[in-house]
Amino acid sequence: MKNGKVDAIVIGAGHNGLVCAAYLARAGKKVLVLERRHLVGGAAVTEEIVPGFKFSEFSYVVSLLRPEIIRELDLPAHGLQILPLESTVTPMPNGNYLAAWADHDETRRELYRHSPLDADAYDEFGLLMHHMAHAVKPIIGMMPPDPASLSPRELMSLGKLGGHMRSLGARKFYALHKLMTMSSADYLDEWFETDVLKATKAASGIIGTFMGPRSPGSAYVLLHHYMGEIDGAFRAWGFQKGGTGGVSEAIAGAARRFGAEIRLEAPVGRVLVNNGRSVGVALENGDEYRADIVVSGLDPKRTFLKLVEERELPSDFVASIRRFKTRGSSGKVNLALSELPRLTCMEPENIARWGGVPIPPQRYLRGAISVSPTMDYVERAYDDAKHGSFSRRPYMDVVIPSMIDPGMAPPGQHVMSIFCQYAPFAIDGGWDDAKREAFGDAVVDALAAFAPNIRRAIIGRQVLTPADIERITGLTEGNIFQGELALDQLFFLRPAPGYAKYRTPVDGFYQCGSGTHPGGGIMGASGRLAALTILGERP
């Protein structure tokens, strides 16, 4: 069966695919988005896993979404509404705790309780990271220049990049070099002495990577996560009202308004190529759709090793894609709770014992709980993973979206989202039901160590291993960034040398997923830059 021809087909309605579709439609193209599942969003979806409880099943916080996308697609008009996440509490093994607040001064006072030196350093650190994030921002928004090319345009682009780096001045330039090459543990050691502070900060440098906080290269990811911005405010993380799926819905709404069509439960089986040019796609059921432009939002391995015949691609390109590292390292546990967790360390008498400022549960439970009590704890969690098992005591980032958005759960009850690391995709012997549940138990145990009432509060539980993430979302090896954010896979190397600018070896076939520059998080930059490339516009 043949269907009518459109200008562009986008494979996959993940957030990048939707962004790309929206920009193409906005430019007047007739766009068709084909999604395998019954809902849009890819890994940014909201699903009612337990009746009455809505979960941001995979991706659960928003911060990196590019402001220009929010603006250009007018996403607030389509339902984008980010509710800020205001604090992070890290329980410590000795019963003490560390709290960090959106309010800088409040955080500083709390830090002072742990170390006056660190409280002082915190100001300077925050300022420097702020500057670093600003320094890197233009790089994220630019097409990666190809350092190996001799074309005048590439050389100009390289020269501009060089000029940008030099314009930072010595202090920032060297700091940036350190961030790009050091481990987050070493980098933080230069600044702070409080272990729990360093552990909590370092933990954000390992999210989605297969590195420990002591591995060189992890400091960069620290910065990557520092770049979150909502409406221009750096470092603010938040929830989408109604769950992360709402972000995808908003982008889909914008795309539809510009005229794009989104077809669900339409899994693409292969990209049709004729004489080195893509001419359309075939669904798994054999239906064919024709278009001059085909864009894949799927990860590079799925895109090039599954959807395209190998003979259509140069062999060195295929080799590059095969060795593109996509080791999934994180899992997710979603809990339906009958009552709120109570952190032992945040009981009023305990806070008083440690000389802290009293904080009611209604306040700190609106923020995150970070289970990253010591740097060694996080490093040991990695040790388990690199030797082939899930972390017996995982690092966890715990949030309770129903505290901020009560509509997520029935009255008086709550949903809890636990991001956990490490859960390696390539676990010894492979994942099975028993291992999944054992992993879920390890997560609950690790949380119960600090919030003993959690066990009796659980009325529903969903454990997602990287194998589950792959099965449900299609992300190869369950890698949440469509490919590891490691220096050898960034910028002009993402996903393969010579093909970092959204083009592929097949004419008319493009890629727009987070497996391309800049990649990672609900950012949308890849989708936007891909669309601009297709439209022949400069970003």
Partner 1 sequence: MRYDVVVIGGGLAGLTSAALLAKGGRRVIVLERRDTLGGLHSTEEIAPGIRGEAVQHDIGWIPASVMEALALDEAQLSLVRPAASATSLLRGGRTLTLWSDPARTARELASHSEKDARAWGAFGERVTRLAGFLQAIYEAPAPEPLASGAREVLAMLGLGRRVRSLGRDGIVDLLRTLPMSVADLLDETFETPALKGLVATSGVSRLSQGPQSGATAFVLLHHHVGAPAGAIRSRAIARGGLGVLASALAERARSAGAEIRTNAAVSRIAVTEDGVRSVVLANGDELETTLVLSTLDPRHTLYDLIDPIYIDPELSEAVRTVRYRGACAKVHLVLDGLPPLGTELLEGALVVAPDMAYLERAYDAAKYGDISERPYLEARIPTVHDASLATAGRHVMSVLVQWVPHRLRAGAWDASRREAVGDLVVATLGELFPGFASRIVAGAVLSPADIEERYGATEGSLTHGELTLDQVLFMRPVPGLSRHATPIPGLYLAGPGTHPGTSIASASLAVKAIGAVRRARSGDRAATGV
Binding site for partner 1 (CB under 8 A): 147-150, 162, 165-166, 169-170, 173-174, 177-178, 181-183, 186, 189-190, 211, 214-218, 323, 325, 376, 379, 383, 386-387, 486-488, 492-493, 497-498
Nearer to partner 1, 208 or 280 (CB): 208
For partner 1, which is the closer residue by CB, 364 or 492? Answer: 492
User: Given the complex with partner 1, which of 182 and 313 has the nearer CB atom?
Assistant: 182
Residue 417 phi/psi, 5-degree rounding, is: -115, 125
Integer Cα distance of 280 and 4 in angstroms: 11
Tokens 């630019």 label which residue? Answer: 142
- For residues 375 and 530, which CB has a smaller minimum distance to partner 1 in the complex? 375
Contact 245, 18 (CB under 8 A): no
Residue 354: CB atoms within 10 Å: 14
**CA 305 to CA 321: how far, in whole Å?**
8
Nearer to partner 1, 154 or 441 (CB): 154
Nearer to partner 1, 169 or 348 (CB): 169
Q: Can you tell me the distance from the alpha carbon of 460 to that of 403, in angstroms, rounded to the nearest whole number?
A: 17
| Beta bridge partners of residue 98, listed in sequence order | 90
Task: Give the nearest distance from C-beta 443 to partner 1 in angstroms.
Answer: 23
Judged by beta carbon, residue 100 or residue 485, the one nearer partner 1 is 485
Neighbours of 488 (CB within 10 A): 11
Pairing of strands 31-34, 458-464: unpaired
CB atoms under 10 Å from CB of 439, counted, come to 24
Task: Kindly tell me the sign of the dihedral angle through the C-alpha atoms of 492, 205, 420, 387.
Answer: positive
Shortest separation between residue 319's beta carbon and partner 1, angstroms:
9
Residue 510 token pair:
């493009």
| Pair 447, 409: CB distance under 8 Å | no
Sign of CA dihedral 105, 111, 113, 116: negative
How many whole angstroms separate alpha carbon 289 and alpha carbon 313? 21
Cβ count within 10 A of residue 494: 28
For partner 1, give the closer residue by CB, 183 or 200.
183
Which CA distances in Å does 127 have to 32, 116, 169, 284, 488? 44, 18, 15, 52, 28
Taking the least distance from each CB to partner 1, the nearer of 363 and 380 is: 380
Rounded to the nearest whole angstrom, what is the least distance from the CB of residue 498 to partner 1 in the complex? Answer: 8
- For residue 479, the minimal CB distance to partner 1 (Å) is 15
Taking the least distance from each CB to partner 1, the nearer of 8 and 188 is 188
Q: Residue 462: CB partners within 8 Å, gap ≥ 6?
A: 49, 50, 55, 57, 332, 333, 334, 335
Angle at 514 between CA 510 and CA 520, to 5 degrees: 165
Closest CB 54 distance from partner 1, rounded Å: 38
End-to-end Cα distance, the chain: 38
Question: What is the rounded CA–CA span in Å between residue 514 and residue 495?
Answer: 9
Task: Choose between 1 and 148: whose C-beta lies nearer to partner 1.
Answer: 148
Does residue 280 contact residue 77 with C-beta atoms inside 8 Å? no
